[in-house]
Amino acid sequence: MSNLLSTEQQARAAKAYVLQELRKTDVGSSILAEEAFYGRLDMNFVTVFAIFAELYGYRHDCLDQLVDLMLMCGKSWMERDPELQKLDKARELDPEWYLSNQMLGGVCYVDRYAKNLDGIRAKIPYFQELGLTYLHLMPLFESPRPLNDGGYAVSSYRDVEPALGDIHQLKALATELRKAGISLVLDLVFNHTSNEHRWARKAAEGDQEHSAMYWIFPDRNVPSAFERSTREIFPDDHPGSFIQLPDGRYVWSTFYHFQWDLNYSNPTVFRAMAEEMLYLANIGVDFFRMDAVAFMWKQMNTDCENLPEVHKLLRAFNALCRIAAPSVLFKSEAIVHPDFVVQYIDRYECQLSYNPLQMALTWEALATRDASMLTQAIERRHNIARGCAWVNYVRSHDDIGWTFSDSDALELGKEGGNHRKFLNAFFVNRHPGSFARGVPFQDNPRTGDCRISGTTASLAGLESGQDGALERILLAYSVAMSTGGIPLIYLGDEVGQLNDYSYLNDPAKMDDSRWVNRPWYPEQRYNERHDPDTTAGRLFSGMKHLIQLRKTTEEIAGGRAIGFYTGNPAVLGYQRPGPHSNVLCLCNFSDDPQWVGRHRFMGMPPTAYDLVGGHDIELRSSGIQLRAHQYVWLRY
Ligand code: GLC
């Protein structure tokens, strides 16, 4: 492609070529005759082209690869279920549907929560009882046994793990969920495959074409050079970023030794993964959880995380979905420094993103009884592009990492390293008076790095039997439910599920403490959920109340929270302006009653209605007193 042409001219020329080539095929000519498809291709072609040319333009076959990609989109669209095409249209007319305050997410492992896909299907009435509109099923595709990183080592993106069911059952489940008003969320694990994936097996046999799909080197020279600047992610498994193959070569594996990083500098990988993505989109996936996005591109002398090319890849994948499966959206899983997290959030990249900072700082505030860092994060780190949404959660299937910015912390007088040490000690009960019962994850004495595993209930004090555990859980979930975007419940949290230490008896799990927070379905707790005399019952009714509040409070739909300075470090404040009225949320993170002085409410009406308590509250006469762990949502 000549450098003398502008990108636009190049794109035009490329499009003419691609269209001409497409028209030579049966699929191409019939699909281009479809106005809606042609329109979407027309709109998104430049994005795909520009990125493809930038990443792979040096290759003589770049344009032909683009023709193949567009043909792939065409075929995929033709095979898309008419019901899904109908949904595509409906969502095109209501593009911000996922910002509604009706949205409520849940996440679970298929086997641990319900044995198999049929079991999940049988739980749909419960999901409806809870009010879920979004269900993330943890990885359920074929993966190595017994080690598979909880399914994040995928051996085939088209085959369900046989113990869970098959691809037809998955498709049927997606349909059932859709009918029940619940979107299906599945992981797109596209940074790596398992070492048992067909591509990896061929690579291991020495096949050159497949070896080129991974980062494989004949000796330690290049790997060692890369490792001078990369981080160790799972040091308990192996040091550095590479592992050695039986034939002496080295392969990049950021996570476990059986997860091999794909080489996206090879366009074959891009195409192959795009094909897997579109296949899954046609199963009826509504949101892809884009797993471990930070690591997808490697560049010598960098830390190989969050590189600009990662964003290009995500945008290109996103554009392919816009063409072939337009209602499908992306959620980024970037559990990294907040400066980098936001870079993934964009209408044209990932419309949703986990909010790891808010999650971690909610725990930080509970431990310190001081909400200053959380307040600062809401003021400074919460704002994201219009039409995008945070996924706010209290905990996930993973560990909790203290991903806050050191300079943010320093402004509040906290030295990052020491504060992380304190938090780690607090959450693994090595701090006097701690209510938490967490377990260290990837404790790396060499670097001082450590993260925390544990269920919400165990981290909040239910396991240690300390006062205020239920209140802490509800307080944490009240923040997730009201700060904007989609709240996500780790299913089992709503009935107070505790840590499960049985992983210590399983050799395939004992070295990965995250299994402590991936327990089996707590049958008894669920049976007790309507009994107010039980812990599960009290918590469940509190959670149901929060959910009902969320669903009837239009101010907290989508968007973002705006900081409100309470003047009391123990009390978090944020506002949610709505179309007709506003809601001010105040949350007391202390174990004691706290005041917010009346002067804080100057300029507000004299009284406001507390949606949580269901009564009016005087604001300006004497200020507000909050009980320990109390939260109020004040409409005015
Ligand atoms: C993501 C998953 C985590 C997994 C890792 C590697 O971070 O959440 O569970 O270990 O990716 O796939």
Which residue has the CA at smallest separation from atom 4 of ligand 1? Answer: 152
Question: Ligand 1, closest atom to CA 335?
Answer: 7
Q: Are strands 216-217 and 352-354 parallel, antiparallel or unpaired?
A: unpaired
Q: Are strands 259-261 and 192-194 parallel, antiparallel or unpaired?
A: antiparallel
Averaged pLDDT, 21-46? 94
What local confidence, expressed as pLDDT, does residue 621 receive?
87
Q: How confident is the model at residue 57 (pLDDT cuts 50, 70, 90)?
A: confident
Q: How confident is the model at residue 561 (pLDDT cuts 50, 70, 90)?
A: very high
The alpha carbon dihedral of 263, 265, 266, 272 has a sign of: positive
Tell whether the model's pLDDT for residue 174 goes beyond 50.
Answer: yes
Q: Are strands 582-588 and 594-596 parallel, antiparallel or unpaired?
A: unpaired
Pocket test for ligand 1, best of 296, 398, 488, 515 (most atoms within 8 A of CB): 398
Which residue has the CA at smallest separation from atom 8 of ligand 1? Answer: 398
Angle at 463 between CA 419 and CA 436, to 5 degrees: 5
Q: How confident is the model at residue 3 (pLDDT cuts 50, 70, 90)?
A: low
Mean pLDDT, the chain, whole residue set: 96
What local confidence, expressed as pLDDT, does residue 4 receive?
67
Q: How confident is the model at residue 1 (pLDDT cuts 50, 70, 90)?
A: very low
Question: Ligand 1, closest atom to CA 234?
Answer: 10
User: Which residue has tokens 């044995």?
Assistant: 115
255 lines ligand 1 (CB under 6 A): yes
* Tens of pLDDT, residues 217-272: 999 999 999 999 999 999 989 999 999 999 999 999 999 999 999 999 999 999 99
Query: 591 CA distance to ligand 1 centroid (A)?
Result: 34
Averaged pLDDT, 467-475? 97
Which residue has the CA at smallest separation from atom 9 of ligand 1? Answer: 398
Query: 291 CA distance to ligand 1 centroid (A)?
Result: 7
Averaged pLDDT, 181-205? 98
Query: 292 CA distance to ligand 1 centroid (A)?
Result: 6
* Tens of pLDDT, residues 398-451: 999 999 999 999 999 999 999 999 999 999 999 999 999 999 998 888 777 899
473 lines ligand 1 (CB under 6 A): no
- Distances in Å between the alpha carbon of 107 and those of 183, 271, 415, 487, 493? 12, 29, 34, 11, 10
152 lines ligand 1 (CB under 6 A): yes
Q: Give the CA diameter of the chain.
A: 78
What local confidence, expressed as pLDDT, does residue 559 receive?
81
Query: 399 CA distance to ligand 1 centroid (A)?
Result: 10
Query: 392 CA distance to ligand 1 centroid (A)?
Result: 18
- Whether omega for the bond prior to residue 606 falls within 30 degrees of 0, making it cis, is no
- Whether 158 contacts 279, CB under 8 Å: yes
291 lines ligand 1 (CB under 6 A): yes
State residue 586 phi and psi, 5-degree precision: -125, 135
- Just list the catalytic residues: 291, 333
292 lines ligand 1 (CB under 6 A): yes
Query: 397 CA distance to ligand 1 centroid (A)?
Result: 9
Domains in the chain: ranges and CATH: 7-93 (1.10.1740), 98-190+267-556 (3.20.20.80), 198-261 (3.90.400.10), 562-635 (2.60.40.1180)
* Tens of pLDDT, residues 314-367: 999 999 999 999 999 999 999 999 999 999 999 999 999 999 999 999 999 999
344 lines ligand 1 (CB under 6 A): no
